[in-house]
Amino acid sequence: MASAPPPGEDDGMDAFMDQFKRKKYKDGFSEDSWEKLAKTYKNEGNHYFKEKNYKKAVISYTEGLKRKCGDSELNVILHTNRAAAQFYLGNNRSALNDVIEARKLKPNHLKAIIRGILCHIELKNYSKAIAWCDEGLQFEPKEKQLIELRASADKQKRVEERNVRKTKLREKKERVQAEALMKAIEERKIKLFQPQELPSQNSDDDEGDDKEEDRVLKTLLFDGINSENGIVVHLDENGNLNWPVLFLYPEYEQMDFISAFHEDTRFIDHLSVMFENFPPWDTEKKYKLNNLELYFEDEQREDLYQVDPMCTLRQVLSHDRSVVKAGNPRILILVRGSSFFKDFLSGKKLQAN
């Protein structure tokens, strides 16, 4: 955090307060008494500030301001010093409010201007920080700290503007990619499972369609179709879809994951590599390539559709009843004729593919 100049020294307060305890209260404090009390709170706050006890310093300066004495110069100091304490506590907006009040009383107060600039920089209000610098330089054209702060604020402002431009360009590029991805999926008639959202009662049909398209685009690319594995479908340089595919083995509650399954690759091409050897969880060694049957499930109807290992992923995903859920196409693999195979299929409805 940038540094702010410290307030002045402590004069002590206990002795001052003791004198009021010894006096008989008559018609309230005089204006001089309120001013003296405010100064004592200022000195007490300065003492706490010097000890870096900024919370107590804020309390003391606040008590001084509550006296509402008629000395505007003293009130400027109380506001400015409280701003410094708030600044070191990280309360930049409160600090800024104090220096604004100080400048209402004394527009050319250098400490208030500098502390306001520091607050604006911390709040990333770089344009306002530069404006405050320019106002200060009108009073103090050669003030080194103002010149340095202006240069710093201007540099940070340009960095911030460059970052905003980069973010907008990146978002535009991502949206173009998302639109191309969505178009490719729609052309292949692939259905994506999307959680239903209640339509807005205040939007007409056109606005609803636009919002739905934006939601789907965001889901496709920016949220990665909510992929459970953090890997998402993407278009390669040739315009082909590559999907993260899950192979599920319900008998053993195991799974395999293909991070980039090319849509025109056949299932047999992957399976022949995966089952060249028995998987370690296949203790009975029954998962042989020629014993395997593949299925995808229509969860809505609780139907199973058998998948020909010679077909491609694109052919399966384009099926009328195939739906991609959570960004991952899922294929069930069973061992033909096993006891689990028979039990598993007995509770399902098999449909012709």
Distance of CA 157 to the CA centre of its chain: 21
Tell me whether residue 224 is in a domain.
no
Task: Specify the number of domains making up the chain.
Answer: 2
Tell me whether residue 306 is in a domain.
yes
pLDDT reading at 89 higher than 80? yes
pTM of the complete model beyond 0.75: no
pLDDT reading at 117 higher than 80? yes
Average pLDDT, the chain: 85
At residue 52's C-alpha, the angle toward residues 116 and 132, to 5°, is 5
User: Could you tell me what percent of the chain has a pLDDT over 90?
Assistant: 68
Tell me whether residue 99 is in a domain.
yes
Q: Using the 3D structure, point to which of 105, 134, 159 is the last residue of a domain.
A: 159
Average pLDDT over every residue of 98-122: 97
pLDDT digits (tens, 9 = 90+) for 253-275: 999 999 999 999 999 999 999 99
Same domain as 26, residue 151:
yes
Query: What does 183-228 look like in DSSP terms, one character per residue?
Result: HHHHHTT-EE-----PPPTT--HHHHHHHHHHHHHIIIIISGGG-T
Which has more pLDDT, 241 or 299? 241
pLDDT at 222: 40
Same domain as 131, residue 44:
yes
pLDDT at 221: 46
pLDDT reading at 219 higher than 80? no
Same domain as 336, residue 245:
yes
- Spatial neighbors of 21 by CB under 8 A, at least 6 apart, are none
Average pLDDT over every residue of 51-73: 94
pLDDT reading at 19 higher than 60? no
pLDDT reading at 102 higher than 80? yes
Tell me whether residue 278 is in a domain.
yes
Average pLDDT over every residue of 308-324: 95
Tell me whether residue 171 is in a domain.
no
- Spatial neighbors of 333 by CB under 8 A, at least 6 apart, are 247, 248, 249, 287, 292, 293, 294
Average pLDDT over every residue of 300-327: 92
pLDDT reading at 161 higher than 50? yes
Taking the CA atoms of residue 18, residue 22, residue 24 and residue 30 in that order, the dihedral angle to the nearest 10 degrees is -30
Please, are residues 46 and 30 in contact by the beta-carbon 8 Å criterion? no
Can you give the residue range of the structural domain that contains 269?
234-351
pLDDT digits (tens, 9 = 90+) for 167-213: 999 999 988 988 999 999 999 999 988 665 534 444 455 555 555 55
Which has more pLDDT, 33 or 99? 99
Q: Using the 3D structure, point to which of 101, 134, 159 is the last residue of a domain.
A: 159
Q: Using the 3D structure, point to which of 159, 177, 206 is the last residue of a domain.
A: 159
Write the burial class of residue 51 (CB in 10 Å: 0-12 exposed, 13-18 middle, 19+ buried).
exposed
Which has more pLDDT, 49 or 23? 49
pLDDT at 204: 53
Same domain as 134, residue 18:
yes
pLDDT digits (tens, 9 = 90+) for 320-339: 999 998 889 999 999 999 99
pLDDT at 350: 77
Please, are residues 126 and 120 in contact by the beta-carbon 8 Å criterion? yes
